[in-house]
Structure 1
Amino acid sequence: MRWTGMPMAMWVLFAKSFEKQLTEVFGYDAKTAKAIRKTAKLRYKEIIAKLPEFEKGDRFQLNIIGCAMLGAFVLCMPRRPDTESLTVYYEKAQMTPLMKWFCRKSGKNKFTPKDISGMKATATLKAADRNPYSWNMEFYEYPDGSGYEGRFTKCGICVLMKKLGLYDLTPALCRLDYTMSEAGGVTDFVRQYTLASGGPYCDCGYKKKRLQEDRA
């Protein structure tokens, strides 16, 4: 994957936030946090350079870029974090004002014909059959009309975290699905399994908030 383009743009947008949370979550002083960020940039570029280009129509490029960035920072920290603290760190680093705006905007399009069509196209693409750092997904609409589920049988984040020697920390990234759904304002996120915790698949279920409230 080329550094110029989306990977570089994501670094510009989020690197300072990742640096800030090194101090707020892990207690590193400002000088150390800055040094970690500088070293992490080099590691991030190395990780990106070893990733394949994603196919046109593959919607998961940003997911793997976010994983690469987090992995780079973790590998450059003086102390290896535990999963619980890294979960907090990743959520705070990712949920910038811009990201919250993006989630709200995406929420407005949830369950529209375009959204449903995009989910079905992703399920058909099965990009992970050709790119191990992408995802394979099956799509299920709930029969009661309350929403839908994406069921993932292959996960690029799991593959990359194993490659980086950080697989035990993968659940820290999984938790962001709940946070982004909440920020969108229109769905309740439901999940039973994750591949990272030994499940048969990762289920990402989105229930319509309004429908649930009307039934209450």
Structure 2
Amino acid sequence: MKYAGMPMGMWALFAGSFQKQLTAVLGYDAATAKQITKTAKPKYKEILTKLPEFEKADRFQLNIIGCAMLGAFVLCMPQRPDTEALTVYYENAQMTPLMKWFCRKSGKSKFTAKDMAAMKATAALNAADRNPYSWNMDFYAYPDGSGYEGRFTKCGICTLMQELGLYDLTPALCHLDYTMSEAGGVTDFVRQYTLASGGPYCDCGYQKKRV
């Protein structure tokens, strides 16, 4: 994957937030946080260059870029955080004002015909059959019309975190699904399993909030 383009843009948008949370959540002083960020950037580029380009129709490129950024920061930290601390760190680093705005904007189109069609198209793509850093999912609309579920049988984040030697920390990324759903304002996120915790699949259920 080339660094120019979306990966470069994501670094520009989020690196400052990732650096800030090194101090706010993980307790590093400002100088150490700055040094971690400085060394994380080339590590981020290194991780990305080993990944294939994503297909144009693949909607999960941002997910793997976020994983690469988090992985780069963790690998450059003097001390490896535990999953609980990293969950808070990643959530705070990702949920910038811009990301919260994006979630609210996305929430306005949730459950529309266009949204449902996009989910079905993603399920039909089976991108992970050709790119191990992408995802395969099945789509299930709830029969009572209360929402839908994406059931993932292959997960690019799991693949990349395993390769980076950080697989035990993967649940820190999984938790962001709850946070982004809540920020959207229109869904309750429900989940029973994750691949990272040994489940048969990752279920991402979006139920319409009751007014």
In structure 1, the residue matched to 2:100 is 100
Please state how far the C-alpha of 1:56 moved relative to its aligned partner. 1.1
1:51-62 → structure 2 map (5 Å cutoff): 51-62=51-62
- The CA distance in 2 between the partners of 1:26 and 1:145, in whole Å, is 42
In the alignment, what sits opposite 2:161?
161
Shift of the alpha carbon at 1:52?
0.3
Secondary structure in 2 aligned to 1:10? helix
| SS of corresponding position for 1:161 | helix
**Offset from partner CA, 1:75-122 (integer Å, 9 cap, x none):** 000000000000000000000000000000000000000000000000
SS state at 2:26 partner:
coil
For normalisation by structure 1, the TM-score amounts to 0.97
Secondary structure at the aligned position of 1:200 is classed as coil
Indicate the SS of the match to 2:205.
Answer: strand
Code of the residue aligned with 1:54 in structure 2: it is F
1:21 match: 21
2-side partners of 1:140 and 1:78: how far apart?
43
Q: Distance in 1 between matches of 2:147 and 2:155?
A: 22
Aligned alpha-carbon RMSD (Å): 0.4
Measured in 2, the distance between the counterparts of 1:171 and 1:209 equals 25
Report the counterpart of residue 44 of structure 1 in structure 2.
44
* Partner Cα distance (1:144, 1:114) in 2: 19
Corresponding residue of 1:3: 3
Write the mapping of 1:1-216 to structure 2, written as runs, cut at 5 A: 1-210=1-210, 213=211
CA distance in 2, matches of 1:56, 1:23: 37
Give, in angstroms, the shift of residue 64 of structure 1: 0.1
Identity of matched residues, %: 83
- The Cα of 1:161 is off from its aligned counterpart by 0.0
TM-score by length of 2: 1.00
Deviation at residue 209 of structure 1 after TM alignment: 0.3
Mind listing any 5+ residue stretches in structure 2 that lack a counterpart? none
